Amino acid sequence: MKAPANRNQDLVVTTQNVQRAHHDEVMTPNYAPMEMIPERGEGALLWDTDGNEYLDFAAGIAVSALGHAHPALCKVLSDQANKFWHVSNLFTNKPAIELAQKLCRHTFAERVFFANSGAEANEAAFKLARRYAHDNYSAEKSEIIAFENGFHGRTFFTVSVGGQAKYSDGFGPKPGDITHLPFNDVEALKSQISDKTCAVVLEPVQGEGGVNPANATFLSEARELCNQHDALLIFDEVQTGVGRTGQLYTYQHFDVTPDILSSAKGLGGGFPIGAMLTTKRIADSLAVGTHGSTFGGNPIGCAVAGTLLDIVSAPEFLSAVESKGTDFVAALSKLNQKFDVFSEVRGLGLLIGCELQGPLKDRAGDVVQACAKHGVLILQAGSNVIRLAPPLILSQQQVEEGVQRLQRAIEGLLVEPQKDGRG
């Protein structure tokens, strides 16, 4: 007997009754979402389908830079949606050109390639670095040096450049000539880099890998070593960019300029867009036909990102991010004086990590769940670091309220009987 075309007719879900359990019935099992189901957001606040309120310090994984439903972004999105949504790169794209002009005005960049995600921006960056070395030096100059615990996305090339083998193992042969070194280790870089190296890629603050800031010496030595060996220095600023750390891009905190920079996450404030920024000389290796994307430079995404960039690049906006970050770290350190559960509170601007110790050691997942129950959404970065990446527009008062909710969540975990096999 022929199987019916739709064998899941009994699995009809209406938007009124979506439950967490429905996720597992229709979605591939690579995600494990939280119990609460978001319904609506405004600024740094989010409400679930049961009407509970949350302070959203996860911000869609450091994406919702201006929070939820920002009026200026809603307006530009609907204005562009009423003109046209998509025409492809077969046409001159006004919103994309305007966004590229802004990115060039505010950074070292002279040329921009648009993609739809961080991984795609990095994919373009790595392909360009290989192609540039191939065009200008030799086919043998193909080594990419990356760092342990680095994260660059989930396409097969980018995940292989990323520094956690557990994410890239088990998918067959990997792209070759990628070397991983300990992060912030100048000597290791010195002894590995050679004229065969085409690029050194790093996150100025490792996000997924545990909120580990690069130190200034490491960055300037990396720049110097790249110069000596004609290798390109690539900064993956997918997480650290667009005001997240208190400068428009994190390299601007330092006396170091990369050759290629990737941006995504916060760039569209929740609308998918990625960008690769570089110089004219390097961009010349992306001749017509060498690379491309159907959706890259999507007019809605570019229009939204252009408005977002106008807001975020204002010096007052960036200095407010920096001072809210300082307040945040102070409030977290005060909390820690009471409970002694963090071995370190670190980060830059509004990208903050707390390394757990004592009874909370390796329990970042439990802290994230407990926080949600107490009305604050946070992230983890590995099993032993909780990560805060709130919307950049949150208020001083929301910083304090959020840390109070975090404190109640931690108090709850500390009085809870220890689970088997823990502590």
Ligand X SMILES: *Cc1c(COP(=O)(O)O)cnc(C)c1O
Question: Are the C-beta atoms of 58 and 382 separated by less than 8 Å?
Answer: no
Alpha-carbon distance of 367 to 389, in angstroms, equals 15
CA dist 179 and 200 (Å) reads: 10
Residue nearer to ligand X on the CB measure, 370 or 386:
386
How far is residue 308's CA from residue 395's CA, in Å, rounded to a whole number? 18
Q: How many helices (H) and strands (E) does the chain have?
A: 14, 17
Length of the chain measured in residues: 423
Q: Which of 80, 78, 55 shows the shortest CA–CA distance to 67?
A: 55
Binding mask 255-294 for ligand X (x = CB under 6 A): ---------xx-----------------------------
Q: Which stretch binds ligand X (CB under 6 A): 78-86, 95-103, 129-137, 148-156?
A: 148-156
Tell me whether residue 264 or residue 403 sits nearer to ligand X (CB atom): 264
400: its two tokens:
């304090």
Of 208, 159, 135, 277, whose CA–CA distance to 144 is shortest? Answer: 159
DSSP alpha helix (H) spans, 40-173 = 59-62, 71-81, 94-106, 118-136, 156-161, 165-168
Q: Kindly tell me which of 119 and 370 has the beta carbon lying closer to ligand X.
A: 119
Q: How far is the CB of 153 from ligand X (least distance, A)?
A: 4
From 43, 60, 153, 301, residue interacting with ligand X (rule: CB under 6 A): 153
Please identify, using beta-carbon distances, which residue of 156 and 339 lies nearer to ligand X: 156
CB of 340 to ligand X, least distance (A): 30
Task: Write the binding mask 165 to 184 for ligand X: x where contact by CB under 6 A, - elsewhere.
Answer: --------------------
Residue 246, token pair as written in the block: 């208190």
CB of 308 to ligand X, least distance (A): 16
Sheet holding 385-388, edge to edge: 342-348, 351-356, 385-388, 379-380
Does the footprint of ligand X cover residue 380 (CB under 6 A)?
no
Q: Considering only CA atoms, which of 195, 178, 225, 198 is closest in space to residue 128?
A: 198
Site string for ligand X, 198-237 (x = CB under 6 A): -----x---xx---------------------------x-
Of residues 101 through 120, those in contact with ligand X by CB under 6 A are 117-119
Task: Pick between residue 253 and residue 265 the one whose CB is nearest to ligand X.
Answer: 265
Size of the site for ligand X (CB under 6 A): 15
Instruction: Provide the minimum distance between the beta carbon of 119 and ligand X in the complex, in angstroms, as a whole number.
Output: 3
- Residue 149 vs 239, nearer CB to ligand X: 239
- Measured from the CB of residue 338, what is the shortest distance to ligand X in angstroms? 31
d(CA 172, CA 131): 24
Q: Which residue is nearest to ligand X (CB)?
A: 118
Binding site for ligand X (CB under 6 A): 117-119, 122, 151-153, 203, 207-208, 236, 238-239, 264-265
